[in-house]
Amino acid sequence: MRKPLSRPILALTLMTPIAGCATLGLNGPNATGPATTAAPDAAAPVAAPIPKPSAKTADSLDTTTAEQRAEAAKKPMGGETKLGTTIASLGDPADPGFWVKTGLVKSETPGRIEDPKTGKSAKVTLIPSGKAAGSGSEVSLPALRLLEVPLTDLPELTVYKL
Q: How far apart are CA 122 and CA 144, in angstroms?
A: 8
pLDDT value, residue 47: 67
pLDDT value, residue 46: 53
pLDDT at 112 over 80: yes
Region 107-116: what's the mean pLDDT?
A: 97
Q: How far apart are CA 69 and CA 95, in angstroms?
A: 16
Task: Please state the φ and ψ torsions of residue 101, each to the nearest 5 degrees.
Answer: -95, 115
Q: Let me know: does 157 contact 151? Beta carbons within 8 Å.
A: no
pLDDT value, residue 29: 41
Lowest mean pLDDT: which of 39-43, 112-116, 127-131?
A: 39-43
- Which residues are CB-contacts of 30 (< 8 A; sequence separation ≥ 6)? 95
pLDDT at 38 over 70: no
pLDDT value, residue 4: 52
Domain coordinates in residue numbering, the chain: 34-161
> 34-161 architecture in CATH?
Beta Barrel (2.40)
pLDDT value, residue 118: 95
pLDDT value, residue 75: 83
pTM over 0.85: no
Q: What is the DSSP letter of 37?
A: G
55-109 pLDDT per residue, tens: 778 887 887 888 988 898 888 888 899 999 999 999 999 999 999 999 999 999 9
pLDDT at 32 over 70: no
pLDDT value, residue 22: 38
pLDDT value, residue 42: 42
